[in-house]
Amino acid sequence: MTAAPEAVLADQESGAAAGPGPAGRGRVILRRFLSNKGSVVGAIVVVLLFLLAFLGPVISKYSYTEVDFSALREAPSAQHWFGTDRIGHDEFALVVRGLQKSLLIGLLVAFFSTVLASIVGACAGYFGGWADRVSMFFVDLLLTLPSFLIIAIMSPLFKNSSWLIFVVLLAVFGWMITARVVRSMTLSLKNQEFVRAAKFMGVHPMRIIVRHILPNVASFLIIDATVAVGGAVIAEASLSYFGFGVQPPDVSLGTLISDGTSAATTYPWLFWFSAVMLVVFVLAVNLMGDGLRDALDPTSDRVSRKQRRIAARQAAERRAKAANGATTTPNTTAGSPA
Amino acid sequence: MLGYLAKRLGYYVVMLLVAVGLSYALASTSLNPRANFEGRSPRPSPASVTRQLDDLGVNPDTPLADRFGTWVGHLAHGNLGQTINNTPVTDEFKNRVLISLRLLVVGTILGTVCGILLGAWTATRQYKFSDRAAAGLSFLVMSIPTFVLALFATIFATGLNTWTGHQIINFTGQSTPGLSGGFFTHLGDSLVHLILPTLTIGLMLIASYSRYQRNTMLDVLGSDYLRTARAKGLPYRKALFKHGLRTALIPMSTFFAYGFLGLLTGATFTELIFGWHGMGEWLVNSINQNDVNSVVAYSLFAAVMVLIAGFLSDILHAALDPRVRHA
């Protein structure tokens, strides 16, 4: 019943979002993303690290639990690519395993905390009143105590549990600021015509949130989730470093850095491989997030420059091909002039 | 303005009470103080363990509400209870809080001021080499977890000391133990010990604040009122600072409140890595020893610090933005 008018509205929406010009929104975004060298490098590094994390155990000669008594604290060699630790574990196998755990935790935490943040934020903003007040009180409350503190206090409860509990904890205490942003975006979307039209047509509120509100904050959520992967990996490593996260015999980048710290100057391979891996991964994810922000969010200032560059290039192409001027990009003047 | 601030303060007090209650409940249910006594040798009898737990007010068999009531009763007299080693929590708190505050305050001021200035400056030099270099470096620093940054700093200092053959940068602990000399020797020693931890915290803050400040400043630089200010003959620098920076700082006040959580956590990690006997070390030790009262004391400290930062950002917001002040 409500599907027909809604579908029309949705069509208009996606038509507006695609912007003028023949290229679809997806292709425009992809082109903008690819025009940013940093983000392309970031994306490639992220893919390579994922390959290393999941194919590494296959190509490694040793398993991360295996102990080679003939090689204690040996420097990197053909036998042990990243050297060995104090009791003869193969450092390559350990780093690869730790990377895998850290990446999995980072991805899962970013996914769940973003989902939680978008649900709470959109509901608080859309329904207002008590729902808003109660959820924002919780947000403020959780922002009063550092999540590091809460998770560290709760860590004895989960000493012998699976690392998935740790994922749940990191996600449950990491969604608050995103939820606040989603809420304020929802507040301004709520009064726009297409949302009001849907509302007066009798569309169910949850359907409005899923069909009209969330798609309009999707760019923000995608960017935020990407950066959140880096943040979650940092949080995981920090907690594990101080013994409140991943527990032995399991390893993560945090526990490996912790094991290698005391030997950082004498047996550098025990520290540097895991530490550099962690920094490189977070850096790559942040670069990717930055490129996504430029590509997806046409109001940020760096985009206006990028778009101006694209527009200039397109203008040049137009002149060259003597085509008509249908391919101007929107929002060229939206950002701040330099 | 006072009405607005009073309202905010009231909200923060409620928040503080709920947060402390929550952390008390969390610490009491997840830590197991009995394990600490049972791990001692010779192992005390169960009856004596129970008696000691009762004395500390952390016996898991007493209903949580009763324990919390007793704790609040003590708190009303400025008493935070006893640690698991039967010393007053308040004494430990007093010994450690100044050490942590030293790092936190010096680091915050340095990081915030430098970050804001760097951000404002790079905004005026958009897309020039200095802007790009600052952006790249901030990006790199923001991608390094604080504890790794602190570790890098210690490794760098160790390398420097071995290379030159002198202890140029002392970084273990907050001062050299058993140092003889007058007031200035001790002061100098403390300052040297402050260098690396403060740099760690400062760099972390400068990186994120400068990026944010640059963005808000760029919004302001393109505004009509700044052009008007220049058009009526105000010198560039004056227009920039009186009209530009002031407005660009308003969104920063909110960012400061949120950023403080990360700062507090970062300072805790930094302290731990540099071996300072501050609040962070106390927290980690207390959790490992199942010391409920000390953990709650740390939570109280953390919550008070976060809310002070929130209140400061409200004051700043009201001072900068007349719409808030006269609302």
**pLDDT at residue B162 is higher than 50:** yes
pLDDT at res. A299: 58
Q: Which of B29, B158, B215 sits opposite A265 (nearest CB)?
A: B158
- What single DSSP character describes residue B88? B
Cβ–Cβ below 8 Å for B26 and A144: no
Distance from CA of A283 to the nearest CA of B (A): 5
Cβ–Cβ below 8 Å for A282 and B18: no
Distance CA A255, CA A274 (A): 9
What is the band of A317 on the pLDDT scale with cuts at 50, 70, 90?
Answer: low
Dump the DSSP string for B200-248: HHHHHHHHHHHHHHHHHHHHHHT-HHHHHHHHTT--HHHIIIIIIIHHH
Give the contacts of B226 (CB within 8 A, at least 6 positions apart).
B220, B239, B240, B243, B244
Look-up of token digits 């935790």: A105
CA B86 → CA B93, B188, B280, B299, distances in Å?
14, 36, 20, 20
Best B16, B147, B296, B298 member to test A by mutation, with max A CBs in 10 Å, is: B147
Domain ranges of chain B: 1-85+292-327, 99-288
| Residue B287 in contact with partner chain A when CB distance is under 8 A | yes
Average pLDDT value for chain A: 80
Cβ–Cβ below 8 Å for B303 and A150: no
| Residues A65 and A108: beta-carbon distance below 8 Å | no
| Residues A208 and A198: beta-carbon distance below 8 Å | yes
| Residue B32 in contact with partner chain A when CB distance is under 8 A | yes
Range in B17-26, B115-124, B157-166, B295-304 the model is least confident about: B157-166
**pLDDT at residue A186 is higher than 90:** yes
Q: Which residue of A lies nearest to B24 if distances are taken between CA atoms?
A: A153
Cα A261 to chain centroid distance, Å, stands at 28
Averaged pLDDT for residues B80-91: 85
**pLDDT at residue B318 is higher than 70:** yes
**pLDDT at residue B72 is higher than 70:** yes
Give the contacts of B266 (CB within 8 A, at least 6 positions apart).
B146, B200, B201, B204
**pLDDT at residue A240 is higher than 70:** yes
CB contacts, 8 Å: A275 with chain B: 148, 151-152
**pLDDT tens, residue by residue, A6-20:** 444 444 444 444 444
Averaged pLDDT for residues A96-114: 93
Q: Which residue of A lies nearest to B286 if distances are taken between CA atoms?
A: A153
Q: Which residue has the higher pLDDT, B149 or A298?
A: B149
CB contacts, 8 Å: A143 with chain B: 258, 261, 306
Range in A124-128, A141-145, A260-264, B231-235 the model is least confident about: A260-264
pLDDT at res. A23: 66
**pLDDT tens, residue by residue, B34-53:** 887 877 777 788 888 888 88
Cβ–Cβ below 8 Å for B23 and A150: yes
Best B148, B258, B292 member to test A by mutation, with max A CBs in 10 Å, is: B148
Which two three-digit tokens encode residue B191?
Answer: 């300052």
Q: Which residue of B lies nearest to A306 if distances are taken between CA atoms?
A: B127
CB contacts, 8 Å: B272 with chain A: 242
Give the contacts of B100 (CB within 8 A, at least 6 positions apart).
B267, B271, B276, B278, B279, B280, B301
Interface of A with B in 87-126 (CB under 8 A): none
Q: Which of B15, B144, B151 sits opposite A144 (nearest CB)?
A: B15
Cβ–Cβ below 8 Å for A145 and B143: no
pLDDT at res. A99: 92
pLDDT at res. A9: 43
Q: Which of A26-30, A227-231, B242-246 tops mean pLDDT? A: A227-231
Interface of B with A in 95-154 (CB under 8 A): 126-127, 139-140, 142-148, 151-152
Cβ–Cβ below 8 Å for A336 and B222: yes
Distance from CA of B183 to the nearest CA of A (A): 33
Q: Which residue of B lies nearest to A286 if distances are taken between CA atoms?
A: B143
CA A43 → CA A27, A283, A284, distances in Å?
17, 10, 7
Distance from CA of A268 to the nearest CA of B (A): 10
Which two three-digit tokens encode residue A274?
Answer: 């895991």
pLDDT at res. B145: 92
| Residue B295 in contact with partner chain A when CB distance is under 8 A | yes
Distance from CA of A201 to the nearest CA of B (A): 37
**pLDDT tens, residue by residue, B261-283:** 889 999 999 999 998 899 999 99
- What single DSSP character describes residue B144? S
Question: Which fold is adopted by the domain B99-288?
Answer: MetI-like fold (1.10.3720)
| Residue A177 in contact with partner chain B when CB distance is under 8 A | yes
CA B251 → CA B219, B254, B311, distances in Å?
11, 6, 15
Distance from CA of A241 to the nearest CA of B (A): 9
CB contacts, 8 Å: A287 with chain B: 139
Distance from CA of B182 to the nearest CA of A (A): 34
Paired residues of B88 in beta bridges: B82
